[in-house]
A and B are shown apart, each in its own frame.
Chain A
Amino acid sequence: MQHNVIDTKDVVIRFCGDSGDGMQLTGTLFADASALYGNEISTFPDYPAEIRAPHGTVSGVSGFQVHVGSVEVNTPGDYADVLVAMNPAALRANAKWAKATATIIIDTDTFTEELIKRAGYATLDPITELRIEDRNIIYSPITTLTKESLKDSGMDQKSIVRCKNMFTLGMCFFMFNRPLEYTYAYLEKKFKKKPDLIAPNKKVLFDGFNYASNIQAVANTYTIKPAKQEKGLYRNISGNQATAWGLIAASEKSGRPLFCGSYPITPATAILEELAIHKNLGVKTLQAEDEIAGICTAIGAAYAGNMAVTTTSGPGLSLKSEALGLAMITELPLVIVDVQRSGPSTGIPTKTEQTDLNQALYGRNGECPIAVIAAHSPSHCFDAAFYAGKFAMEHMMPVILLSEGFLGNGSEPWKIPSMKDYPAINPPIINKCEGPFKPFERDPETFARKWAFPGTPGLEHRVGGLEKNTAGVISSDPENHEKMVAERAEKIARLANYIPQQKVIGPEKADVLIVGWGGTFGHLLSAYNTLSEEGRSVALCHFDFINPLPANTAEIFARYKKIIVCELNSGQFAGYLRAKLPQFKYEQCNKVQGQPFIVEEVVNAVKNIL
C-alpha cells in the first residue's frame, strides 16, 4: 500500500469507546498537544449520563471530537476524517459521523461475537452491516498490543488493559505528526504521586506511535501546519473554566470578594470545582444542601457586600426561580450561570441545548424581568461572565448568564488577555448619607439603587420580598406597586445604554440575515462563510445580549430582506424577537436533538429561503 502524506488545512478526529475506556482523556490530550503545536482547535465531548454504563452497549459509548486546523476553526467539525472506535458499540454509534473518505481505526480484539451481539448488530459482520467496507479501515489488535507492550511493567492485567487508550493516542500522534513531549510531561505530572505508572504509560504511548509507523496499514499521515495566529501568549481553555475565571476577574476589578453558593449539577459543576481551587484569590465557595440554598446563600452574601454567584443547569434554575424573584425585588447584584442542557425535566443531562431561554426570560412569578447575557464560545465565557458580574454590581440587579453544555465542556485555544484591558467595575456602594437612608432611591441615569453593607453605621435598613416604597417601608399602595414594577423594568431597559452596539458579520445589506445567539456562533459563522464563498447574499448577526437587546437591533434588522433565526430549540429566541420587534418577519431554523448544529443544516435552511 502506498503511504500518503496528506497536507491539509484541517482534520476532524472522533475518539469513541466505552465510557470507561478513557476517550475523554485521549481526546483532551490530543487536542492539547495540537494546540501546543500551534494549531487552531475546537473540541466537543459527547458522553452518556451514566458514569459506567453497561460495558459494550451503545448507550455506554463515550465520544470526544477534535477539530484541528491550520486555518480558523469555528466548530468541533461535523463529520470525522478519522474515527477511532474502541469496540463494536462505539463503531455502531459513530459510523454515521465518518466521512466517505474517512480512516477508521478499530480494536479488533473487541470485535468478538459476544460484544458484536451486545452492541445490537443484526449480523456478525459489523463492517458490511454498517456499509463502511470502502473506508480505510485499520484493523489493529490494540488490546493485545497493549498487553504485550506492558507485560514486563509489573502492572496487573486490568490496569494494563486500561492503558489501551494511550496506545491508541500514540497511533494518532504518528498519523498526525504530533510531538510526544507534551503528553510525556502531562503523564509525569498526573502520576507524580504514583511514579511507577509514569514509565509504563510513556512506553505504551511510544509503542503505539511506533506500531503505527511500522504497519503498512496506516496509509495516510496528515500534516497540519500551525495556524497563522495573532502573536501573543496562548492557553487552552474550556467554557466552564473560562466562566469561573471571568467571575474571578470581575471580583478582582470590583474589589468585592467572590462568593459562590452552588449545588453540583451536570454540566455546570466544573465551574464550582474550578472556583473552589482559587481560594488564594479570596474566592469563597459553599457547596449548598440544594439548589435553593445555593442561590439563597448567594443572596445573603450579596446583601453582605460580596460579589455573589450561583451556578447551575436548567432543572436547578427552575428550583431557584422564587429566590431569583427575591434577588430581583431586593435589587441585589447576583450572577446566575445556567449551563443549559437538554430538557425538560432531567431530559438528556449530558447533551447540549438552548432550551432554557424562555425560562431565563420569563420563569418567575409576578412581573420579574431579568437581564440575560449569553456566551458564544468556550473562551468567550470569560468575557460573558466578567460583564455579567460588572452589570449585576453596577446596576444592582440579578443577571442570568446562559452558557451551554457544548460551551462548558468544549475547549479552544485562547489568546490570554491582560486585566488592564478590561474596564473598571464601580458598584454604587454607599458609606454614609445625609438624613435617613432610602434604600430604593435610584441613580437618575442607571436607575440602580445604592448598595449599603451591613456593618456601615447609620445606614441600617430592611429589604425583603414584600413590596416596598422608595424609603424601604413595606407598602401595598396600588400606585406605589405599579411605580416600583415600572422602575425595576426600566432599570433593565436602561442597561441597553451600557452594552455594546450589536455588530453584523458580512455586508450591510443582503438578502438574508442569519440571526443566532449563544453557543451556535461557530456553526453559524461556518455556515455564513460557506454561503458567502458561494456568492450568496447573506450576513450574520449573533447576539450576546438578549435582555435587553442592543439598542440598534431594529435598525439592523430593517436592512435585510429576510431574517432567519437559528437556534437549538423550537424557536424561543424567534418568539422573543416577535414580541419585542413585531415589525419584522422571522424565519426559523431549529434543532432539538441534544446535539449542536451541523453546518450544512444551517446552510440548507438558508438556501431554502434565498
Chain B
Amino acid sequence: MAYLPQDFKSNQEVRWCPGCGDHAVLASIHRALPQVCEDLHYTKERLVFVSGIGCSSRLPYYMNTYGFHSIHGRATAISTGMKVANPTLSIWQACGDGDALAIGGNHFIHAIRRNIDINIILFNNQIYGLTKGQYSPTSRLGQITKTSPYGTVENPFTPGSLVLGARGTFFARSLDSELALNQEIFVSAAKHDGCSVCEMLTNCVIFNDGAHMTISDREVRADRTITLRHGEPMVFGKEKDKGLILENGKLKVVRIGENGITVDKLLVHDAHAEDPAIQNQLINMKYPDFPVALGVIREVHEPTYDDRVRDQLAEVKEKSPITCMDELLRSGATWKVE
C-alpha cells in the first residue's frame, strides 16, 4: 500500500505561530515519508517520532505515528534506548538548537559517536522560542536577546562541525522553506545506516525573525547558497555562473568563464569521503565570503551501534553453554548440603 502525506498527519491542531519555519519542515516530513516507506518497505507503525522540549519538540503530536515527547535535552538518549531495544523501528527525532546543543549536548555528541541508527532533525532558529527569546548555543556573537540585552559575548556552535568532531557519518543542511530539498535530505537520512543529522535553518518569526534572511531571501538565495550533491560539480548562482575550487587546500569561489575556469575544473562534491577535511570547510562556509552549503554534505558508511549490539548478542549466545536462568543459577562454584 502506498502512503500519502496525509496518512502521516495527526488530527491535532498545529500550534506553532503563523509564519514559523517549523510548519514548512513538518510539511516536508509529511511529504517525504511516503517515499521513505516505499523505498525502504516500511509500514507506518514502524515509525517513531521522539522529541525533547521546545517549539519544534511539539512535532510528534502532529504525526499520526508512534511518538514520545520527552524532557528537555534528553530526546537523543530516549531515541538511543528505543533503537537498541527494537532495532527494526525507524526513529526520527525533532529537536531545537537549545534542546540538542545546550542542555542535551552530551547526549547529542555521544549518539553521533556511537553511530546509533536514528534520524535527528535539528531545527536551528538560533534562539529559545518557547521560553520567549533568550540566546541559544547557535546565536551569533553579539546577538541581542532578552538574556543578552547588550549582545552575547560567546561564540556559537556550528552544528555540522560538532557532528564531524563527534565522528558523525551523516550531516545535511537545508532551509525551512526548501521543501523539495528537505524531502530529498530526509529520504537520504532514512536510507543512511547510522546517526543522521539534518540541520534545518528555521525562522522564528516572533523572537528572531530574519535570522537566516541574508541567505534565505528568494531574491538572493541562489547566489548566497550552494546545494551540494554527491558526485556533482559545485556550481551555484542564479545564472549557474559561480563555483567552488580548491586552491592550496582552501576553498575558493570562482566565476565560470573567467580566468579559464570551466565546470569540469570545479570541485566535485564527495559526501562519501571518509576524511572530513573538505566537508568541514564546506560546513563552515559563511556569507558573504562564501555561499552557505546546503544538501547532504557528509554520508559515509560505518557499522552502527545497534548492529554491533545485535551481533555481539548473537555471538555470545552462540558460544555460551548457559541458555536460561536455572542454568545460570547452577553455574560456577556451588555445593550440595545433604
Cross-chain contact of A279 among B84, B316, B337 (Cβ < 8 A): B316
A466-B69 contact given A38-B337, A296-B78, CB 8 Å threshold: yes
Tell me whether A234 and B335 are in contact (CB under 8 A). yes
Residue A575 CB within 8 A of the other chain: no
Tell me whether B45 and A35 are in contact (CB under 8 A). no
Question: Of the 9-residue stretches A96-104, A123-131, A281-289, A548-556, which lies at the interface with chain B?
Answer: A281-289
Tell me the chain B residues, 297-338 only, with Cβ under 8 Å from chain A: 309, 312-313, 316-317, 319-320, 322-326, 328-330, 332-338
Tell me whether A304 and B313 are in contact (CB under 8 A). no
Tell me the chain A residues, 458-496 only, with Cβ under 8 Å from chain B: 458-466, 473-474
Mask of A279-304 contacts with B, CB within 8 angstroms, 1/0: 11110101011101100111111111
CA separation between A261 and B78, bound complex, in Å?
10
Tell me whether A280 and B316 are in contact (CB under 8 A). yes
Tell me whether A293 and B330 are in contact (CB under 8 A). no
Enumerate chain A residues within 8 angstroms of B255, measured Cβ to Cβ: none
Residue A428 CB within 8 A of the other chain: no
Tell me whether A455 and B89 are in contact (CB under 8 A). yes
Enumerate chain B residues within 8 angstroms of A279, measured Cβ to Cβ: 312-313, 316-317
Closest CB in chain A relative to B22 CB, distance in Å: 17
Cross-chain contact of B77 among A288, A417, A463 (Cβ < 8 A): A288
Residue A453 CB within 8 A of the other chain: yes
A464-B69 contact given A284-B85, A296-B74, A455-B46, CB 8 Å threshold: yes
Tell me whether A298 and B106 are in contact (CB under 8 A). no
Residue B261 CB within 8 A of the other chain: no
Enumerate chain B residues within 8 angstroms of A305, measured Cβ to Cβ: 85-86
Tell me whether A463 and B333 are in contact (CB under 8 A). no
CA separation between A322 and B103, bound complex, in Å?
13
Tell me the chain A residues, 283-333 only, with Cβ under 8 Å from chain B: 284, 286, 288-290, 292-293, 296-306, 308, 322-323, 325-326, 330
Residue A229 CB within 8 A of the other chain: yes
Residue A252 CB within 8 A of the other chain: yes
In this complex, which of B70, B78, B88, B334 has the most chain A Cβ atoms within 10 angstroms of its Cβ? Answer: B78
CA separation between A597 and B146, bound complex, in Å?
55
Question: Of the 9-residue stretches B59-67, B170-178, B186-194, B287-295, which lies at the interface with chain A?
Answer: B59-67
Tell me whether B81 and A460 are in contact (CB under 8 A). no
Tell me whether B322 and A293 are in contact (CB under 8 A). no
Enumerate chain B residues within 8 angstroms of A457, measured Cβ to Cβ: 43-45
Cross-chain contact of A236 among B78, B88, B324, B333 (Cβ < 8 A): B333
Enumerate chain B residues within 8 angstroms of A259, measured Cβ to Cβ: 81, 84-85
Residue B107 CB within 8 A of the other chain: yes
Tell me the chain B residues, 102-151 only, with Cβ under 8 Å from chain A: 106-107, 110
Closest CB in chain B relative to A325 CB, distance in Å: 8
Tell me whether A281 and B78 are in contact (CB under 8 A). no
A297-B312 contact given A35-B335, A36-B333, CB 8 Å threshold: no
Residue of B nearest to A454 (CB): B66
Tell me whether A465 and B71 are in contact (CB under 8 A). yes
Enumerate chain A residues within 8 angstroms of B88, measured Cβ to Cβ: 455
Enumerate chain A residues within 8 angstroms of B77, measured Cβ to Cβ: 261, 288-289, 292-293, 296-297, 300
Enumerate chain A residues within 8 angstroms of B12, measured Cβ to Cβ: 473-474
Residue A2 CB within 8 A of the other chain: no
Residue A231 CB within 8 A of the other chain: yes
Tell me the chain A residues, 166-202 only, with Cβ under 8 Å from chain B: 182
Cross-chain contact of B89 among A282, A286, A293, A304 (Cβ < 8 A): A304
A304-B86 contact given A299-B81, A460-B65, CB 8 Å threshold: yes
Cross-chain contact of A462 among B68, B332, B336 (Cβ < 8 A): B68
Tell me whether A326 and B70 are in contact (CB under 8 A). yes
Tell me whether A293 and B106 are in contact (CB under 8 A). yes
Tell me whether A281 and B322 are in contact (CB under 8 A). yes
Enumerate chain B residues within 8 angstroms of A296, measured Cβ to Cβ: 70-71, 74, 77-78, 81, 107
Residue A278 CB within 8 A of the other chain: yes
Tell me whether A458 and B71 are in contact (CB under 8 A). no
Tell me whether A281 and B325 are in contact (CB under 8 A). yes
Tell me whether A284 and B325 are in contact (CB under 8 A). no
Enumerate chain B residues within 8 angstroms of A474, measured Cβ to Cβ: 12, 61
CA separation between A229 and B337, bound complex, in Å?
7
A300-B80 contact given A245-B325, A281-B328, A322-B71, CB 8 Å threshold: yes
Enumerate chain A residues within 8 angstroms of B84, measured Cβ to Cβ: 259, 284, 286, 297, 301
Residue of A nearest to B326 (CB): A419
CA separation between A231 and B77, bound complex, in Å?
48
Tell me whether B324 and A252 are in contact (CB under 8 A). yes
Cross-chain contact of A248 among B43, B64, B80, B325 (Cβ < 8 A): B325
Residue B82 CB within 8 A of the other chain: yes
In this complex, which of A456, A460, A466 has the most chain B Cβ atoms within 10 angstroms of its Cβ? Answer: A460
Enumerate chain A residues within 8 angstroms of B66, measured Cβ to Cβ: 454, 460-462
CA separation between A301 and B81, bound complex, in Å?
5
Tell me whether A293 and B107 are in contact (CB under 8 A). yes
Residue of B nearest to A329 (CB): B71
Enumerate chain B residues within 8 angstroms of A232, measured Cβ to Cβ: 336-337
Enumerate chain B residues within 8 angstroms of A463, measured Cβ to Cβ: 67-69
CA separation between A322 and B77, bound complex, in Å?
14
Tell me whether A454 and B69 are in contact (CB under 8 A). no
Enumerate chain A residues within 8 angstroms of B107, measured Cβ to Cβ: 289, 292-293, 296
Enumerate chain A residues within 8 angstroms of B32, measured Cβ to Cβ: none
Q: Which 5 A-B residue pairings sit nearest by Cβ, starting from the closest?
A: A300-B81, A464-B69, A297-B81, A280-B320, A296-B77
User: 5 pairs across A/B with beta carbons < 8 Å?
Assistant: A38-B335, A38-B337, A326-B74, A454-B86, A461-B66
Q: Which residues of A contact B (CB under 8 A)?
A: 32, 35-36, 38, 182, 229-236, 245, 248-249, 252, 257, 259, 261, 278-282, 284, 286, 288-290, 292-293, 296-306, 308, 322-323, 325-326, 330, 416-419, 453-466, 473-474
